[in-house]
Structure 1
């Protein structure tokens, strides 16, 4: 499976790995007290989180919590090879290199209730340049020292904080220091009025979309789309009566990102427009 394997250690733990794998291959991510940033340099790999598969193409990356079992990477092709770089985030090392205070990206988000454990990171030019810089040290190991490695860890954390995935990255990395596990219902209720799609909500529960729908149906005796839409409209109807907010603002507060869609959905349920509902109930 391994055509070539190299690693770099810091404070007695492996923090950077570079591997060339001949296909087909499959290797698990063991349960461990760390998170991992996987960058696919060459070839597409399949990442599995229990029963859910995610394709990671070349020059794309994946951030994942390695603290849960059921994760693995594979490529079933018989005529290709893959080159992968993995950066491991060990909590004890992060605490050591950030002596005064952990950066915001490693701190628990104040308003997020989620068990999200993996996030695909889109092709990012600065991250690709960063990976190219790591390859230089694999080719010149005599230049590697403790100070450089500390700087490289801080650099990738800074780069991740600047990606469009920063919110999800913070959820995953903060789990290294706060092991809170939320129940399915806690996550649903906390995100009822967000603008998350059903797929995104499933990710926050750390379930595949099919498993998420089964669990939702079992607990709520309804489909996720119908239940969540009903709750949003009920909240909107309440706000129309008890507040003077603009209808556009109420729609947004209740998780609708389009006023026309909100108006149609409201009319379908209450047989009246939001404006007329407010006027009728007030008079």
Structure 2
């Protein structure tokens, strides 16, 4: 549930957006002709693109080029809410803001697959920039067109001064070139993430019914059954060879609930995860 939402617009397009959300909350966010820079003020954000995913916390940020995205918003432990601020980039706004001086990196497009998102750690310059934008949300009477153009250009300059500048430049140079990803590529990339079947459907830009039909045609199995079995197979491998805790393995394999993981594991292997691990250790000892 969105508790508060404010925007600042440039040339009749939303440039800055600030939102407070009652979390946990999941949201699909297709961006067909825009890109976005997102900064977390409170809580955490798990961002998924067709082939990538990242996890950003307070003070961290992510730059996303156009494409399909899924957000899982997690609450601040004390406040119980998630808060973030976003800067939106549109090709027509950038061209109008820069005029005849559009930077070369915004005009050079390549055909190669480029990252769809770049995570940035906590950076003082970015933090100070965000604080300056928050000031204008509190004082909207001070905002005008010239100021917003300056703030738009400023964030691009700052992003290019970070340690991730090479990746940033690659993303910026392909900011509005939509990449097409194979359906199976996206599934395989997120098999062990915590995305639900409905989340995967939205990420592949399909309705749930269309997604299930495509999935059945490719994998000859239902999404729920196939994904659960792949996750359990990975879990069994990790239990056999690693010293990671059972809860860590469950989360690493895409299970959000330990009790559900243990029940599913026992249904498939006729033994609990802890007993399975113990059996594997005994086998190794007997072989040595």
Question: TM-score when scaled to structure 2?
Answer: 0.58
In the alignment, which residue of structure 2 is the partner of 1:167? 166
Residue 72 (structure 2) pairs with residue 74 (structure 1): yes
Shift of 1:174: 1.8
- Which segments of 5 or more consecutive residues in structure 2 lack a partner in the other structure? 192-288
SS at match of 1:96: helix
1:182 deviates by: 8.7
User: Contact conserved, 2:43 with 2:81, CA < 8 A, in 1?
Assistant: yes
- How many Å apart are 1:78 and its aligned residue? 9.2
TM-fit CA distance, 1:102: 1.8
Q: What's the counterpart of residue 127 of structure 2?
A: 128
Query: For residues 73 and 178 of structure 2, what CA distance do their matches in structure 1 show?
Result: 33
- Name the CA distance, whole Å, in 2 between partners of 1:165 and 1:102: 22
- Please list every run of 5 or more consecutive structure 1 residues that lacks an aligned counterpart in the other structure: 185-204, 212-283
Provide the aligned length of Structure 1 versus Structure 2: 187
Deviations 1:174-227 (A, max 9, x none): 2235x375999xxxxxxxxxxxxxxxxxxxx9997678xxxxxxxxxxxxxxxx
Q: Equivalent residue for 1:9?
A: 9
- Whether the aligned pair in 2 keeps the contact of 1:45 and 1:75 (CA below 8 Å) is yes
Residue 42 (structure 1) aligns with:
42
| Shift in CA distance, 85/146, structure 1 to aligned 2, threshold 3 Å | same
Q: Deviations over 1:135-171 (max 9, x none)?
A: 0000011111000000000100110111111111122
Secondary structure, aligned partner of 1:39? strand
Q: Distance in 2 between matches of 1:116 and 1:206?
A: 14
Q: Hey, what does 2:53 align to over in structure 1?
A: 53
After superposition, where does 1:187-198 map in structure 2 within 5 Å?
Answer: none
Q: Is the 8 A contact 1:105 1:157 kept in 2?
A: no
Distance 1:182 1:74 in 2: 23
Contact 1:42 1:81 in 2 (8 A): yes
Per the alignment, do residues 126 and 207 of structure 1 end up closer, same or farther by CA in structure 2, a change over 3 Å counting?
A: farther
Q: In the aligned structure 2, how far is the partner of 1:26 from the partner of 1:113?
A: 30
Alignment partner of 2:32: what SS? coil
Query: Residues 207 and 120 of structure 1: is their aligned pair in 2 closer, same or farther, counting only changes over 3 Å?
Result: farther
Report the CA distance between 1:103 and its aligned residue: 1.8
Question: TM-score, with normalisation over the residues of structure 1?
Answer: 0.59
| Cα pair 2:38 2:63 within 8 Å, conserved | yes
Corresponding residue of 1:32: 32
| Partner SS, residue 100 of structure 2 | coil
Name the CA distance, whole Å, in 2 between partners of 1:169 and 1:206.
23
Instruction: Kindly indicate whether the alpha-carbon contact (under 8 Å) linking 1:105 and 1:169 is maintained by their aligned counterparts in 2.
Output: no
Give the direction of change, closer, same or farther, for the CA distance of 1:23–1:136 in structure 2 (3 Å limit). same
The equivalent residue for 1:273 is: none
Structure 2 matches for 1:82-121, cutoff 5 A? 82-108=82-108, 113-121=112-120
Distance 1:2 1:89 in 2: 22
| Segments ≥4 residues shifted beyond 3 Å | 50-53, 76-79, 180-184, 205-211
Partners of 2:188 and 2:171 in 1: CA distance: 17
2:95 match: secondary structure: helix
Cα distance in 2 for partners of 1:64, 1:19 equals: 18
1:142 aligned counterpart, secondary structure? helix
